[in-house]
Amino acid sequence: MDKKWFKEAIVYQIYPFSYSDYNGDGIGDIKGILSKLDYIKDLGVNAIWFSPLYDSPNYDYGYDVRDYLKISPTFGTMNDFKTLIDEIHKRGMKIIMDTVFNHTSSEHYWFKEAIKDEKSEYRKYYIFRKGIRKGNKLLPPNNWTSIFTGSAWERVEGEDNFYLHLFDKHQPDLNWDNPEVRNEIKEIFKYYCDLGVDGFRMDVFNLFSKVEGLPDDDAKFSKGRKYYIDGPKIHEYLHELYTDVFSKYDLLVVGESFNPSEENKMKYVDKNSGEINMIFDFSHLNADSRFGVYYLHKKFNLVEFKNNLVNSQMINYENGWATLVLENHDQPRSISRFGFDLDNYHYEAATMMAASTFLGFGVPFIYQGEEIGMTNTNFKSIDEYRDPVTHFVYNSFIKKLPLSYKGKLRMLNHGARDNARVPMQWDNSLYAGFSDFEPWMRLSDDLKYNVENDLKSDKSIYHFYQKLLSIKRNNKTAIYGDILDLCPLDKKVFAYKRSYKGNMLLVISNFTDKKIVYNLKEDLASYTYCTLLSNYLDVSISNGSISLNPYQTIIIEPLKEYSYGSVIYRKNGSGEIEYLLEKMGLGHTSIPKGHIEANETIEECVKREIREELSLEINLDMNFSHLITYSPSKGILKDVTFYVSTITGGDIKVDNKEVIDTVWLKYEEAINALTYESDKEVLEDANNYLTKEL
């Protein structure tokens, strides 16, 4: 399997309106984001995706672009954006921009010129058609309906012509059949690539191509979709973008698809198609809703959730790449949706969902606030909602239902995108640390779930994410392994196996608020496992029988031992290295066999010795040796003193903490990058790497 950076990406999404307000106007901005980059980097991600930062009148909060080459004054300036690119790159992260090319804003220069004059060349940039006269009425050109509101057509004032808008009337659709439009779009992509942007998310990309003639649709609902979803020339247009732009840069390109067919899902991301790297597949997030409509709530169906999640990974494994997502700016908060007992198990549920999702095959996309377990908001009035889609759904559908006002709001709230768009919660101050001024939209109800509180907590979701993402970054099986659902029909447990080059990783999660037992099948029960991570301190595995606490997740792998000389060592998937010392001699420190208690395995003995803070000096018989202190309070391999051998055979003690930390990280990077097919090569390569760094 070929290796490219996008395959090892871990992406953090920022919704700029709601992340951090620097200038005190109650709206997030670029300088606010700049102030939080270290927080994002420390989480363990290596790329940041920004919802649109372009100039926009904000009818759809940035997804209606007025000028693609200008940064919205709400967020800052183009110089601020260039600074953002530089600062992200300085921290070793990549930057991904959102692009919106199915439509523009009705205030875009192209559209304003188009409606000025019927003969304008810019009219060909959009989709205009004459209306149909029936008696005294002028009807739209066809019966297509908008995804957002009513008819998909809006009449041009003073004319018999209409323009197509699959979304809001302020978002006229571009005419991708016009090569001039495609050339304009390619130049915009190139402009941002040359600025240093590393990737793009393409909004509703599979709607770009429409069937010629725009015929009427005989569907009962959502008319027109069969004529514009996965349209006739979509693959041609994507391949053109790939050939002329994407292939000339080292990019991550991810598409937001709208109800694509299974065949097209695979073709878009097939490495041989020359189109895009991956698409978002949200089918697993329909497991709590009817007909894929989030407002129509149903009891969470775990079987549906995991089958759709795993299937989207399996179909892409050989030739494409997958995405792993629970939340974004269009999704309600996942932790609130699926019926979990948050009063008693908020930390456990949030961490269980993260582990279950992000260790699959594909690129994790983490939405702001997900890493601290932000929840849905209890909006008290329709006036508190900001999303125009929420208002359309309420006025055209929910408002007419025979429910109480509270019942209507409860139904609306379950699917409202506004839940994801409330301001990020940083601390316990008046406006949750988001701003010193009243925010542009109301805050969440659960303000206790903020960064300040989480980082201080013994049950920190952020700290769990750090460990989880360390596994995702460093364990090649977690990146490149195939995936197999171990119990696809189980209604309580989600368990899957990742396999790669003879290595194996198991992720097992209890989706209930009860203690349960999960039994591994015979072929897996025979292994001895080491635990890489769990959201509980106690992990009970005996003869393939695993006891799981409420919402417990465990990540385990078969124990492997490697030896070099008298040193026996184990490497686990999070990048930590556990050393065992058998009886040695030559003055080496060892764990005497007498230390192993009755009925105690070597692994259990080592864990016990670690708890007793045993320090071991290990001589690798090469150019250096180091003293490793196992500290249960600080974690394994945190306190390290290096002794570097000189040419004369003497030792130079390095005890400067900053130098030690830096060198140790370099050493860990070297170890993590190796495949462990030859243990001697591992130590030699790591030693050579470290020697160069020293």
Distance CA 6, CA 30 (A): 24
Instruction: Please answer whether residues 456 and 448 qualify as being in contact, where contact means their C-beta atoms are separated by less than 8 angstroms.
Output: no
CA distance linking residue 361 with residue 323, whole number of Å: 8
Of the candidates 256, 370, 371, 557, the residue annotated as catalytic is: 256
Q: Which of 360, 693, 384, 346 is nearest to 535 (CA)?
A: 346
* Phi and psi angles of residue 276, each rounded to the nearest 5 degrees, phi first: -135, 170
CA distance 225 to 210: 9
Q: In Å, how far from its chain's centre is CA 87?
A: 21
Sheet of strand 128-130, all strands in order from the earlier edge strand to the far edge? 128-130, 161-164, 153-155
Q: Which residues in 93-110 are b (16+ Cβ under 10 Å) and which e?
A: bbbbbbbbbbbbbbbbeb
Distances in Å between the Cα of 693 and the Cα atoms of 159, 453, 603, 670, 686 are 72, 38, 33, 11, 11
State the Rg of the chain over Cα. 28
The encoded tokens of residue 33 equal: 């984001």
Cα angle for residues 681, 687, 689 (degrees, 5° grid): 100
- Of the candidates 29, 168, 173, 203, the residue annotated as catalytic is 203
Alpha carbons 312 and 257: distance in angstroms, whole number: 13
Reduced to 3 states (helix: H, G, I; strand: E, B; else coil), residue 623 is coil
Sheet with 615-619, strands from edge to edge, namely 615-619, 624-631, 635-645, 651-654
| Residue reference for tokens 């920022």 | 14
Q: Which two tokens stand for residue 221?
A: 């609902």
Examine the residue annotation and report whether 203 is marked as an active-site residue of this protein.
yes
Instruction: Give me the active site residues, please.
Output: 203, 256
